Amino acid sequence: DAKTTQPPSMDCAEGRAANLPCNHSTISGNEYVYWYRQIHSQGPQYIIHGLKNNETNEMASLIITEDRKSSTLILPHATLRDTAVYYCIVRLWGTNSNSGYALNFGKGTSLLVTP
Amino acid sequence: DVKVTQSSRYLVKRTGEKVFLECVQDMDHENMFWYRQDPGLGLRLIYFSYDVKMKEKGDIPEGYSVSREKKERFSLILESASTNQTSMYLCASQGQSSYEQYFGPGTRLTVT
């Protein structure tokens, strides 16, 4: 699985858009970009994923650059409850011969949403 | 809603004790996972299972074993707990054709 690089921390004012970047310059053509988040004292939670096209769901939008070497997770109107660690993960769809469907979590970005 | 439950939120055990951490999922998922999470190290995969009675080692299996006798239940066993196994343990499950991995709330284990 390709390695990802994320800033260790970011701040965002409540009600504003939070834009979380992720660099994955070694991504291969059949690897997807997944985003999860982990609110303090809870298990990680899936947010969104994409391959090439931009994606949007009720939680967030995912913008992937044309060369697929980086992406941005956008929380359009951040709330205090969005304070969490956000993980960008790149992996193949389906099973990996070494780890099945397991996810390789890095250190993520700690997002603090302030009033 | 998919639910992954773990037997305890907090657990305190003594060095040398045998410890069982239980995980149950209610969505008939084939794949189940045990991770541990430590400050500065992120989540690390201990073991995973892709079917009943099937198990595979993850990145850090030493000192742990697992059991999957029923599809819905995946147990993590610490044969002889040590202080370096003090950690947050997270269980997860995922369907064979699903893109989403569902996590339990975690068990914070302290070994004294």
By C-alpha distance, which of B102, B76, B98 is closest to B7?
Answer: B76
Q: How many C-beta atoms surround the C-beta of residue B93 within 10 A?
A: 29
Average pLDDT, chain A: 91
Q: Look at B90 and A102 and tell me if their CB atoms are within 8 Å.
A: no
pLDDT at A91: 85
Per residue in A31-40, pLDDT (tens digit) is: 899 999 999 9
% of chain A with per-residue pLDDT over 90:
77
Question: Which residue has 């409850």 as its token pair?
Answer: A81
pLDDT at B68: 97
What b/e sequence results for A7-35 when a residue is b if at least 16 CB atoms lie within 10 Å of its CB, and e otherwise? eeebebeeeeebebebbbeebeeebbbbb
Categorize the per-residue pLDDT at A41 as very low, low, confident or very high, splitting at 50, 70 and 90: confident
Mean pLDDT of B34-49: 92
In this predicted structure, the answer to whether residue B110 has a pLDDT above a threshold of 90 is yes
pLDDT at A106: 86
Average pLDDT, chain B: 94
Categorize the per-residue pLDDT at B2 as very low, low, confident or very high, splitting at 50, 70 and 90: low
E strands present in B8-104: 10-13, 19-25, 31-38, 42-51, 54-57, 64-70, 73-78, 87-94, 102-103
pLDDT at A98: 54
DSSP string, A23-78: E-TT--TTEEEEEEEE-TTS--EEEEEESSS-EE-SS-EEEE-TTSSEEEEEETT-
In this predicted structure, the answer to whether residue A1 has a pLDDT above a threshold of 70 is no
Chain A: nearest CA to B12, how far in angstroms?
A: 17
Mutate to test the interface with B, among A36, A101, A105, A107 (most CBs of B within 10 A): A101
Chains A, B: CB pairs < 8 Å: 57
Among chain A residues, the shortest Cα distance to B58 is held by A99
